[in-house]
Amino acid sequence: MTTKKTFPHPIGENVPRVDAHEKVTGAALFADDIQFGPGLLFARIKRSPHPHALIKRIDVSKARSFPGVKAVVTGEDFPGFTGLYLQDRHIFCRERARYVGDPVAGVAAVTEDIAERALELIEVEYEPLPGVFDPEFGASPAAPLLHPDLGKYKVMNFIFPAPGTNISNHFKIRKGDAAGAWKDCAAIVERAYHIPHIQHVPIEPHVAIAKVDTHGKVTLWGSSQSPFAQRSLIATAMGISPADVQVIAPYVGGGFGCKAGLSMEALAVAIATQVRGRPVKLRLTREEEFYTAFVRQGLVSHFKMGCDKAGNLLAMENRFYWDGGAYTEYGVNITRASGYSSTGPYDVPNVSTDSFCVYTNHPVGGPMRGFGMPEMHAGLEQCISELAEKIGMDGMEFRKLNCVRTGDTIVTGMIMHPTGLSECLAKAAEAIGWGRKDPPSAPNKRRGKGIALMWKAPAMPPNAGSSAKVDLNEDGTVTVSVGGQELGQGSFTIAAQMAAGALGVPYKDVRVNGPLDTNTSPYEWQTVASRLTWSMGNAVVAAARDARKQIIDMVAEAWNENPDNLDIVDGSVISYKSEESIPLKNIVIYGIPKPNDQGWMGGPVVGRGNFMPGYVTGLDPETGQGPRAVVHYTTGAQAVEVEVDMDTGRVDVIRGVAAFDVGKAINPDMVRAQMEGGFVQGMSTALFEGLQLKEGVLQNSSFVDYRIATSSDAPQDIQTIIVEEAQDDGPWGARGIGEHALVPTVPAIANAIYDAIGLRPGAPPFTPEKIYLLMQEAGLVE
Amino acid sequence: MTIHRITLSINGSSEQVDVSSNLTLLQMLREKLALTGTKNGCMAGECGACTVMLNGEPVNSCMVLAVECDGAEVLTVEGLAKDSVLDPIQESIIDQGGVQCGFCTPGILISARALLDRKPNPSEDDIREALVGNLCRCTGYLRIIEAVQEASERQLQTASGD
């Protein structure tokens, strides 16, 4: 059994997860598990039933006098603006509600039931207004204006809103001359896709417990991917120091982006200001999780792409209309990220892209696994296959010819770093048996194969930083502290592996300091963007090397040796010269005696380390060109084999292949687990998922009506292939893999459906109804 | 609201609890007894995170009233390990890498335990069917299915070795 091994050299080893034991015994603590005793109050939120309405009057007097109610708050109590990139919202609506679910008032009471009953006593008078439910329409002059004050909002310098419209960001790429290139194209494909909103649906709903003491110090316990960002946003909103905000964030029961930044936590903190000294717990019901938590925003994407006779891609012209929802939050940056990656992983000399974030009366768009890439690739990778066919090339060969390679000048003008994309493509094609057609399992079924590529860069500010600390203990064990969250992806395990590897101690001797606590954990920007293995990893390595240097310098002096001759191996300092050795035990706390009983030297060893990329440059606002837009791209390929049931339209994914270039797999088994889990999540979005918003009202806000993949849907087999083209500034060459694993799944399945039935399914979800109607329309079935 | 005093066995230990008529088994475990290993994912019987064994059968504890459990035997994730020795299904799910965020894990372990009790040598289809009510958003299920298969083998080996 693996758990008994010690792993003296843990990098690249399948060590067991540090959090597994507590998670299988029920001991692992999640935010809702924390006990607060009888002083705990419960909050519930009154929400707008209208997608767009003026608030004419709110009367909370009856709710306020209801027995057991301790506080009732409305937008009147909190006039300030908040927002991550563009400050366009209040914590509670003032004057205007912009989506169904927009918080209008909040109640704190001694029980959740009483708080819920008090909500019914709050009277709100609305004047409904016409809404915007399509981003392309929303961007047009005909659309009602949702944020008349857009020009007055505070905004970060790389976001470009268009006041007087519903456009909260417009990102442009102008590379080469796309308009002039069409005449040289032998084949052109032009398509549009309406990608639906989907929901993250972590199994753990959002929960936050906030306490504000009489001096104004704030404590927040929550299920959070971003404790430090929350600390900063709360401090700014309340006009206090981040040092007076403490965010405690235990394990996250699935995040996928929806627990990044500050969302419902702000409501809990706001209510807590009115009941000082008492913790206030707010947890979203599953229904609220569906219609009020960050959604993966919808996208209307238009692609035009062309190639020459030999199949070389010559030009792309892309227009993306992102359905950012009522407030922008992350949407404006997703718009930007999809713009600067808008060619997909292809070498295209002439590119014109306009990526718009548009206000609508839909739920607020947030970051979801892939940060715009799955939505964008869904259409792009179908177009690529269609263009290949049009010019008479096999889809795999076309990709092989055009995919981005080391040294290419990519869409933003940045030079592509070493990438193993071609190898991913070749290996995925080989593993799926590309070009070989297997017979279907039944006469009423048709079988097909599909392939798709992807790329994705961490989308973050250029200077997002990480830090780490390494403490040595009396027995030579090591406690590593990080501020990056463990949300299932294995970040704590990676931190322990890297600390062990860089310090020279066995993996079994490393512990990870948790839960995260902004008062005691080292700073980490956010657990998003698949950046921890790389960024936090670099900080951990730096901290471990710092500790190692302290230990080696101390022993070298005591032994009167050159530090270069010393090493730490398997938990002991050894000298390659004198062949002496001393275990870390004791010396890392109590120091080491000087020669001839002349006293002591050393002391408790604490290593510190940090990392921040310093090389990302700005982009020209008119052309989107600049020397280095991003830190790096993780690239990869997926191939699938599907069967389509001609009687029902049902699509079964029989098997999948995933090949990604992760630079270096620190823990290959956990890398494979990300690839498998991402594949099934991607498959779920391809076959089942879509928020049905009718005039802004969500029609499917339960697991019965919004289906996600179950154990019976998972394919029989998912083959995972690790490609390792080292990242120059990654720890041992590593870069991230978490989000990437679902980016190409939708188009790979779409392309396989085409291979099976000869019809392109377009936008997901590829439900039996959709596929059957498609086949019916084409005369394939009656 | 009427308060009922009920007596039941939880993880082999006898407990007396005062519960209101509308309190669910899930709320009783988490809020009255601080047995927080059982998770609340939807309160609607749809996600399976709150699965516990009630008299040997897996149930969504959010769909069972506590008052119905007078005299019952309840097994939660906290009761799977005996004398600090993990249940084979706990060992296997660690070894197969079937744990990620861990929020669905307690419910999955209980459903799997119930299956193995009922059917010590389940087929892959049996396993997929037994877990169909336990949603997992992280793992993609394959490693969990393999973990149940491995636990079954371990159990059968142990049984034949006795």
- E strand intervals along A438-485: 445-456, 466-472, 478-482
A455 & A474 share domain: no
CB A704 within 8 A of CB B45: no
Q: Which residues of A741-774 are buried (b: 16+ CB within 10 A; e: fewer)?
A: bbbbbbbbbbbbbbbbbeebbbbbbbbeebbbeb
| Domain of residue B147, residue span | 88-161
Inter-chain residue contact A27 with B109, CB threshold 8 Å:
no
Task: Give me B76's structure tokens.
Answer: 């939660």
Inter-chain residue contact B129 with A712, CB threshold 8 Å:
yes
Total domains in the fold of chain B: 2
Instruction: Check pLDDT > 60 for residue A2.
Output: no
Nearest CA distance, B64 vs chain A (angstrom) = 18
Q: Name chain B contacts of A670, Cβ cutoff 8 Å.
A: 97
Distance CA A215, CA A193 (A): 53
A345 & A471 share domain: no
The pLDDT mean for chain A works out to 97
Distance CA A484, CA A482 (A): 6
User: pLDDT tens digits for A6-16?
Assistant: 677 899 999 99
Distance CA A652, CA A672 (A): 22
- E strand intervals along A494-633: 510-513, 516-517, 566-569, 572-575, 581-583, 592-593, 600-601, 606-611
Is residue A172 in a domain? no
Among B60, B79, B98, give the residue marking a domain's end. B79
Instruction: Check pLDDT > 90 for residue A588.
Output: yes
| Amino acid, single-letter form, for residue B15 | E
Helix H or strand E encompassing A558 = helix A537-559
Inter-chain residue contact A673 with B95, CB threshold 8 Å:
no
Mean pLDDT of A620-633: 97
DSSP per residue over B1-54, as a string?
A: --EEEEEEEETTEEEEEEEETT-BHHHIIIIIS--TTS--S-SSSSS-TTEEEE
Neighbouring C-alpha atoms within 13 Å toward the C-beta of A305: 29
Distance CA A663, CA A658 (A): 15
B75 & B100 share domain: no
Mean pLDDT of A38-43: 97
A259 & A388 share domain: no
CATH of the domain at A13: 3.30.365.10
Mean pLDDT of B120-131: 98
User: pLDDT tens digits for A553-587?
Assistant: 999 999 999 999 999 999 999 999 999 999 999 89
Q: How far is CA B24 from CA A26, A113, A773, B45, B46, in A?
A: 19, 14, 44, 12, 15
B10 & B71 share domain: yes
Distance CA A700, CA A693 (A): 8
Distance CA A780, CA A766 (A): 17
Among A611, A627, A648, give the residue marking a domain's end. A611
Is residue A100 in a domain? yes
Is residue A157 in a domain? no
B109 & B147 share domain: yes
Is residue A304 in a domain? yes
Q: What is the pLDDT of residue A1?
A: 37
User: pLDDT tens digits for A72-105?
Assistant: 999 999 999 998 899 999 999 999 999 999 999 9
Inter-chain residue contact A251 with B102, CB threshold 8 Å:
yes
B75 & B122 share domain: no
Q: Where is average pLDDT lowest: A64-68, A329-333, A645-649?
A: A329-333
CB atoms within 10 A of CB B159: 9
A659 & A565 share domain: no
* B-interface mutation test, from A3, A5, A21, A25, most B Cβ less than 10 A away: A25
Task: Give me A7's structure tokens.
Answer: 């792993």
Q: Name chain A contacts of B42, Cβ cutoff 8 Å.
A: 205, 286, 702-703
User: pLDDT tens digits for A132-168?
Assistant: 999 999 999 999 999 999 999 999 999 999 999 999 9
Residues whose CB falls within 8 Å of the CB of residue A175, separated by 6 or more in sequence, listed in order: A348, A349, A350, A351, A352, A411, A412, A413, A623, A624, A625
Q: How far is CA B108 from CA A579, A779, B128, in A?
A: 52, 44, 11
B60 & B17 share domain: yes
DSSP-based three-state secondary structure for A45 = strand
CATH of the domain at B127: 1.10.150.120
Residue A306 bridge partners (DSSP): A188, A315
B22 & B71 share domain: yes
A648 & A679 share domain: yes
Q: How far is CA B144 from CA A442, B95, B106, B108, B110, in A?
A: 29, 10, 12, 8, 12
Counting one residue from chain A and one from chain B, the pairs whose CB atoms sit within 8 A come to 168
A310 & A386 share domain: yes
Q: What is the pLDDT of residue A416?
A: 98
Q: How far is CA A359 from CA A132, A317, A560, A744, B117, in A?
A: 8, 23, 69, 27, 54
Inter-chain residue contact B43 with A286, CB threshold 8 Å:
yes
A532 & A486 share domain: yes
A640 & A557 share domain: no
Among A261, A283, A305, give the residue marking a domain's end. A283
Instruction: Check pLDDT > 80 for residue A4.
Output: no
- E strand intervals along A326-387: 350-359, 365-366
Q: Is A257 part of the contact surface with chain B (CB cutoff 8 Å)?
A: no
ipTM higher than the 0.95 cut: yes
Among B14, B47, B79, give the residue marking a domain's end. B79
Residues whose CB falls within 8 Å of the CB of residue A598, separated by 6 or more in sequence, listed in order: none
Is residue A531 in a domain? yes
CATH of the domain at B35: 3.10.20.30
Q: Which residues of A339-350 are buried (b: 16+ CB within 10 A; e: fewer)?
A: bbbbbbbbbbeb
A483 & A345 share domain: no
Distance CA A120, CA A34 (A): 29
A471 & A456 share domain: no
Total domains in the fold of chain A: 3
CB A749 within 8 A of CB A683: yes
Is residue A188 in a domain? no
Is residue A605 in a domain? yes
Among A611, A628, A661, give the residue marking a domain's end. A611
Distance CA A116, CA A123 (A): 14
CATH of the domain at A265: 3.90.1170.50
A657 & A764 share domain: yes
B47 & B114 share domain: no
Nearest CA distance, A351 vs chain B (angstrom) = 36
Mean pLDDT of A339-359: 98
B10 & B73 share domain: yes
User: pLDDT tens digits for A522-535?
Assistant: 999 999 999 999 99
Among B38, B56, B79, give the residue marking a domain's end. B79
| Domain of residue A222, residue span | 34-129+206-283
Q: In what order do the strands lie in the sheet with B13-20?
A: B13-20, B3-10, B73-75, B51-54, B57-60
Q: Name which of A24, A202, A712 is nearest B137 (Cβ-Cβ).
A: A202
Instruction: Name the band, by pLDDT with cuts 50, 70 and 90, for residue A594.
Output: confident
Nearest CA distance, A645 vs chain B (angstrom) = 20
A224 & A349 share domain: no
Mean pLDDT of A428-435: 98
Instruction: Check pLDDT > 90 for residue A595.
Output: no
Q: Name which of B30, B43, B137 is nearest A203 (Cβ-Cβ).
A: B137
Distance CA B86, CA B100 (A): 18
Instruction: Check pLDDT > 50 for residue A371.
Output: yes
